[in-house]
A and B are shown apart, each in its own frame.
Chain A
Amino acid sequence: MEWLPDDVVGHLSKMIDTPDLTGTKYELIEEIGRGGMGAVYLVRDSHLDRVVALKVLDSAETDEFATARMLMEAKILAALEHPGIVPIHDAGTLADGRFYCAMKFVKGTRLDRYAASAARSDLLRVFTRICEPVAFAHVQHVVHCDLKPENIMVGEFGEVLVLDWGIARYEAEPGGLSIAGTRGYMAPEQIRGTFEARSDIYALGRILNFLMPGSNVPKALRAIATKAANSDPGLRYASVPEVSADIARFLDGQPISAYEESLAERAARWIAHHKTLSALLLTYILVRTGIFFAIRR
């Protein structure tokens, strides 16, 4: 018996994985990503002459569960029309029996890479933009369940998109949750097999921690992340808008709900936020004091 060389095996495996787009309006350009259940391809929509991202299940994953899961993702994306959520254009079954979803092709930088070079204030603004689609989804009773920097894209024009709703669920979905998510971003209750909207708030807290590494992070900011990522869901923020409101208050130099600051901290925050006025008042006091001593002399 003769063994096939590795490169031939690799080529055959790639040929098997390549989706059969016969009979569709899509023309394969290249593979752009691969996940646990399938791959994402860059394809051209020949009818509309535009490139789209085609998410296709692996040939080995054509079982009912995987298909149902991806169909659920497609339905959730179709229900969630929001500028911060990647829109779905089409879904169906390919000639080879694999389920697919055609989505907008998002150009940009993943948050984990973007964070390496962005300023803190920019990252906080991006963070508040992440909160918007998540809050919108929660209003529709959808929980993302896998929020992490790798699933967030910062577009060329500063737009922020939350991706990969593959394990998103409706809050009222019956039955236990199979453990899915990403270690480090999964809420404790999610690991135990349950979930709620506050599970996403936990992940947001962890994302905020990721965005603010190091020891020179302001206490107020650290407090927001700590409250959001509290292991007890009852002690977390009650809703995503509450998290973003605290971030907005921090950016505006206002006191936040997650942290009780001392008088000195309050004064320091006020001075930091009103530098010009503080400088004017200080100058006035110095001038008055100077005049007082000059006249006495």
Chain B
Amino acid sequence: MNKPVYGLILGGILGIFDGLTAWFTPEVRAGIIGIVIGSTFKGVIAGVCIGYFAKKVNSLPLGILFGLAVGTFLAFLIARMGTENGNHYYFAIMLPGSLVGAIVGYATQKHDVKMGKRAVSSVG
């Protein structure tokens, strides 16, 4: 599996879980479906970007840093939209969002593309 696809899947999955944590905040629990969808979408986009970066740059610290930056930026865009009652949860969205980006950055750098290719060639 190449790194952008790996980043896409991992970003999406982590996005779902990150969105589901909103359930612990009663104020926003009612809109959890929208939050999960938004969070997943954010995770997918971040995952593709981070995966593409990992494909081009082979550096764990830079990968984590890039993931952190992309996660923060996309989380900022979502936080800026605000809730229906006009509240902006900048820290509550941006801090975990950036960490999820960093985790995806780590995972895409560590992901061994060759292993998958070797398995395919040994079958073929």
Contact = CB atoms under 8 A, between A and B. Distances in A.
Interface of A: 276-277, 280-281, 283-284, 287-288, 291-292, 294-295
A292 to B, nearest CB: 5
A284 B106 contact: no
B92 A280 contact: no
Contacts, number: 36
Contact of A276 (B60, B89, B91, B92): B60
A280 B96 CA distance: 10
B6 to A, nearest CB: 15
A287 B96 contact: yes
A291 B91 contact: yes
B53 to A, nearest CB: 17
Contact of A280 (B27, B89, B95, B99): B99
Given A276-B60, A276-B64, A295-B27, A288 B21 contact: yes
A284 B103 contact: yes
B106 A277 contact: yes
B99 A287 contact: yes
A238 to B, nearest CB: 24
Contacts of B92: 291, 294-295
A292 B25 CA distance: 7
Nearest to A276: B106
Contacts of B107: 277
25 contacts: A276-B64, A276-B106, A277-B103, A277-B106, A277-B107, A277-B110, A280-B99, A280-B102, A281-B103, A283-B99, A284-B96, A284-B99, A284-B100, A287-B95, A288-B24, A291-B25, A291-B91, A291-B92, A291-B95, A291-B96, A292-B24, A292-B25, A294-B92, A295-B25, A295-B92
Given A280-B103, A281-B103, A291-B25, 11 more contacts: A276-B60, A276-B64, A277-B110, A280-B64, A283-B99, A284-B96, A284-B100, A288-B21, A288-B24, A291-B96, A295-B27
Contacts of A295: 25, 27, 89, 92
Interface of B: 21, 24-25, 27, 60, 64, 89, 91-92, 95-96, 99-100, 102-103, 106-107, 110
A277 to B, nearest CB: 6
Contacts of B64: 276, 280
B116 to A, nearest CB: 18
Pick the most buried of A281, A283, A284: most chain B CB atoms within 10 A of its CB. Answer: A284
Contacts of B91: 291
A294 B64 CA distance: 27
Contacts of A277: 103, 106-107, 110
B47 to A, nearest CB: 15
B89 to A, nearest CB: 8
Contacts of B24: 288, 292
Contacts of A287: 95-96, 99
A280 B21 CA distance: 17
A32 B25 CA distance: 78
Contacts of A288: 21, 24, 96
A280 B98 CA distance: 11
Contacts of B89: 295
A172 to B, nearest CB: 35
Contacts of B95: 287, 291
Contacts of B100: 284
Contacts of B96: 284, 287-288, 291
A92 B69 CA distance: 72
A89 to B, nearest CB: 40
A235 to B, nearest CB: 33
